[in-house]
Structure 1
Amino acid sequence: MRYPVTEIFSSIQGEGLLVGCRQVFIRMHGCNLSCAYCDTITGEFPACCRVEATPGKSDFKLIANPLGAADIAEATASLDLSRHHSVSLTGGEPLLYPSLVKELTPLIKGTRQGIYLETNGTLPDSLAEVIDCVDMVAMDFKLPAMTGCAPLWETHRRFLKTAASKYTFVKIVAGDKTPPEEVITAAELIKDTAPGVPLVIQPVSAGGNIMAVAAKHLLELQELALSIIDDVRVIPQTHKIMGFL
């Protein structure tokens, strides 16, 4: 089978608990959601995949889409995986392609910590197919007030039950309009489903029609979550602050 890939490149992880770790990113095309704050292009099928030739140099070459798992693995290996913490399967939503995850991950060797899955946490059946193929899971809880999507709590619960068998953390994107009750619901879901899984509150990145969130509000949301679970951190999108891809 062949798959649509947007880009393959080397950079730092800018979000969540692995902020600052060097990763190779394999960015899949397409998503099953359309969140109000999303900054990822998920429209038309990309004609080409951008592949970085030298780690961190942004010297991209173009490869015609779609790509086979062997093509993706070859491009990834060319970025010297021995110097990378892990390979991030990201998107879009990589779990739209569970067959790719199963086919690709055995071909990726030589990182320091394995395979890191970045996901919106809404495809629990796909996760169940691939959970043995990944080492780390960074999953979102999609807060309705921020995303504009319908509530997905029970879907997230099912997803977290499976994800928690691996190193996992949950991320929520928060803005000035994020209601406290949604953060409470997120924290209680973690407490009831997978105690000990950390929660990351990620301030929405300002730009366009999106306003920055006040520090006071973030502290209030963190305090509420900390009254329910033990590990709650506020971490922005650091790659945007520093100008990394």
Structure 2
Amino acid sequence: MPKLPVTEIFSSIQGEGPYVGVRQVFLRLPNCNLKCPYCDTGTSVPQQLRMETETGSGMFDTHENPVSFAKLIELLQSYDFSIHHSLSVTGGEPLLWSNQLRVLLPFLQEKGIKIYLETNGTMPEQLLQVLPWVDIISMDIKLPFDGQTFWAVHETFLRYSLQKEVFVKLVVHNQTDLNELRTARDLVAGVDPQIRTILQPVTAIHGIKAPEPYQLLNWQRFFLEKLADVRVIPQTHVFMGQL
């Protein structure tokens, strides 16, 4: 029976993007292929999987890690999906585990569980491996950092994603470059100007400061020149104290 490394499983409120406020079960997977300067999530593989014992308690049981698919399906089915919108498969970068996910996700789909994939949008070939079993794609557009740019791979990823419901998120801070935002806006518009686009002000970390209100308003106006649906949404789970 295949196994999958898992960081944690818990029930909480989606805190980002257009689905903010819906109840989800979160399946967090370890490892990431990027090191974003504003990242606030540990990505190393833990020795044990942790699972919250009571929603919102912050108390966790631990389980063997990597976990067998049979055990993982059992753990996930302990949640009442009649009150949960979907299963958020998040990370880290979950598509690093595409070989395992393409085996696991069909089992979950058979159980009627909707799959919400949170991804940095840099692994298009891995996306294709799991795309038939994904319902919603929350795709980051990573603005350049540390000499790295992602425009070409983002465009490919976004075009593949059009087979499903997809929206994009851009994390912005008070030093974000307008030329980079222009490239991001034009990339989305070139794929489909109807794609919902979220400007997400960074949660201050590592000395990176959130944008000023006037910056967010100006950037939203700038994006709306070419895109149909542009929203400014912060990480609401942070100030609610949710996982």
TM-score, normalised relative to structure 2: 0.94
CA RMSD of aligned residues (A): 1.3
Between the aligned partners of 2:117 and 2:221, the Cα distance in structure 1 is 28
Between the aligned partners of 1:13 and 1:73, the Cα distance in structure 2 is 21
Unaligned runs of 5+ in 2: none
| Structure 1 residue identity aligned to 2:86 | S
Say if 1:175 and 1:242 are closer, same or farther in 2 by CA, change over 3 A.
same
| Structure 1 residue identity aligned to 2:81 | L
Q: Secondary structure at the match of 2:7?
A: strand
Instruction: Indicate whether 1:129 and 2:145 are aligned.
Output: no
| Structure 2 residue identity aligned to 1:89 | V
Q: How does 1:20-99 map to 2 (within 5 A)?
A: 20-43=21-44, 45-99=45-99
Q: Secondary structure at the match of 2:63?
A: strand
Shift of 1:148: 3.2
Unaligned runs of 5+ in 1: none
| Structure 2 residue identity aligned to 1:29 | P
Instruction: Indicate whether 1:243 and 2:241 are aligned.
Output: yes
| Structure 1 residue identity aligned to 2:231 | R
| Structure 1 residue identity aligned to 2:229 | D
- Paired position in structure 1 for 2:225: 227
Contact 2:12 / 2:56 at 8 angstroms: preserved in 1?
Answer: yes
Question: 4+ residue runs of structure 1 moved beyond 4 angstroms?
Answer: none
Contact 1:69 / 1:100 at 8 angstroms: preserved in 2?
Answer: no
How many correspondences in the alignment?
240
Between the aligned partners of 1:164 and 1:68, the Cα distance in structure 2 is 32
Between the aligned partners of 2:193 and 2:187, the Cα distance in structure 1 is 9
Say if 1:77 and 1:57 are closer, same or farther in 2 by CA, change over 3 A.
farther
- Paired position in structure 2 for 1:192: 190
Q: Secondary structure at the match of 2:158?
A: helix
Instruction: Indicate whether 1:205 and 2:203 are aligned.
Output: yes
- Paired position in structure 1 for 2:115: 115
Between the aligned partners of 1:168 and 1:149, the Cα distance in structure 2 is 27
**Percent identity of the aligned residues?**
46
Q: Secondary structure at the match of 2:82?
A: helix
Deviation string 1:121-140 (CA, Å, 9 cap, x unpaired) is 00000001111110000000
Between the aligned partners of 2:85 and 2:124, the Cα distance in structure 1 is 26
Between the aligned partners of 1:158 and 1:77, the Cα distance in structure 2 is 34
> Out of 154, 175, 178, which is 2:176 matched to?
178
